[in-house]
Amino acid sequence: MNTVGFDTGTVGFMLLATSLVMLMTPGLAFFYGGLAGKRNILGIMMQSFVSMGITTIMWFVCGYSLCFSGDSLGGIIGNFDKAFMCGVNLNTPFPGNNKMPEFVFIAYQMMFAIITPALITGAFVNRVTFKSYLVFLVLWQVLVYYPFAHMVWGGGLLAKWGVLDFAGVIVVHATAGFAALASVIYVGKRRDISSPPNSIPLIAIGTGLLWFGWYGFNAGSALDVNSITGLAFLNTDVAASFAAITWLIIEWTMQKKPKFLGLLTGAVAGLATITPAAGFVSLPSAVMIGIASGIVCYLAVHLKNKMGWDDALDVWGVHGIGGCIGTILLGVFASKAMNPSGADGLMLGGTHFFAKQVIAVVAASAYAFVFTYIMLFLINKITKVKVSEAEEDAGLDAALHGEKAYDEGAL
């Protein structure tokens, strides 16, 4: 029985958006599973799927409360007032939009928490033990994700300072991308760095699911059904498309052949880059952001290769650098004419807002990098982080999980 007059259209849309964001985690598993070597498909996919279970438990116990309840430590983190969903019932409205119940917002934000640590896993594919990853999954969320979710979206320090992040780059992509780089530097190179993707069709399926789910990720972040929702939806598609084609053209020019994998990678880069700006910039600005994403992220991957960083699935170049570029370009192109609750960027005289965006994303990235490296060092004191040479050679599917993706002997 609805006693507080929730809007069924808003509730229905947000539940759909929640479902779309949930779909992104299996999509990421397919994307990474296709990119991984044949002996490590299940290991990398399991790291995504296990986040769905563990993160949900954490979110119920304390995660949601630490992100969206109260304000502690000077606005860095929330409190435990809503731990175990205490005080939230069927008729509790979401404070940010009383047209929907808080339960819906809890579910929506949980999907963001699930996918964020899973993004990191593509960097250290086939080099990290499953036990250490589980410890990493828990600690990284508590000490990196929860504070930044609170600071940006929970009314904390960065929100009060005026920093904007429409759908999660400071919170999601920049922190995950630079955590991935720290992970790569800590665990070192793979023994066989020439391992090619085992299935480009599987990568394509994953990309399609990610692209589809990203509409819920970005458009759903309007937390309502209005013109801003439509703006975020269209900007998402346009930026991804321009980034994909830009990457394709660059790679075609450089390698003399149009690469399907490059097209797919460019699309994901564009999706990550537009995320912080999707509901704050105009459509022409989204075009510019998409083109910039295709160019800069391609160059970042090239730099990664030149530096010898074995980020196996280009998490840093695509999500980390893409996220940073998107946050900075939001500081350039943001317009109150597009979203009155936003800000005017550098192009409209918003010098201070631009500076805040740059400082915030650089600080978040640096914190995620340094903390992740230290955390892996400490985890290694408890349980070894890196697999043995024999386990790596055998492949983690068989060595750690006792399974394999394909039964080659089956008819």
Average pLDDT across the chain, whole number: 96
Q: Is residue 1 part of a domain?
A: no
- What CATH number did the domain enclosing 259 receive? 1.10.3430.10
Per-residue pLDDT at 130: 97
Is the pLDDT at 103 greater than 70? The verdict is yes
Report percent pLDDT > 70 for the chain: 98
When divided into structural domains, the chain yields a total of: 1
Q: Is residue 401 part of a domain?
A: no
Q: Domain residues for 219?
A: 8-396
Per DSSP (E only), the strands in 48-187 are: 93-94, 97-101
Q: Is residue 406 part of a domain?
A: no
- Rounded CA separation 278/60 (Å): 29
Distances (CA, A) of 212 to 16, 208, 217, 235, 396: 12, 6, 9, 13, 30
3-state SS assignment for residue 73: coil
Contact 396, 129 (CB under 8 A): no
Question: Nearest to residue 340, comparing CAs of 227, 182, 223?
Answer: 227
Per-residue pLDDT at 367: 98
- Rounded CA separation 277/166 (Å): 6
Is the pLDDT at 157 greater than 50? The verdict is yes
pLDDT average, residue stretch 194-202? 90
- Rounded CA separation 64/84 (Å): 9
Per-residue pLDDT at 5: 85
Per-residue pLDDT at 150: 98
Q: Is residue 411 part of a domain?
A: no
Q: Is residue 410 part of a domain?
A: no
Q: What is the pLDDT of residues 31-68, one digit of tens each?
A: 999 999 999 999 999 999 999 999 999 999 999 999 99
pLDDT average, residue stretch 337-348? 98
pLDDT category of residue 409 using cuts at 50, 70 and 90:
low
Is the pLDDT at 411 greater than 50? The verdict is no
Per-residue pLDDT at 3: 53
Is the pLDDT at 319 greater than 90? The verdict is yes
- Rounded CA separation 22/215 (Å): 12
Cα 174–chain centre separation: 8
Q: Is residue 405 part of a domain?
A: no
Q: Is residue 292 part of a domain?
A: yes
The shares of helix, strand and coil residues in the chain, as percent rounded to the nearest 5, are 70, 5, 25
Tokens representing 210? 């990610």
Q: Is residue 189 part of a domain?
A: yes
Q: What is the pLDDT of residues 105-140, one digit of tens each?
A: 999 999 999 999 999 999 999 999 999 999 999 999
Per-residue pLDDT at 1: 45
Contact 405, 37 (CB under 8 A): no
pLDDT category of residue 192 using cuts at 50, 70 and 90:
confident
Round to the nearest angstrom and report the end-to-end CA distance of the chain: 54
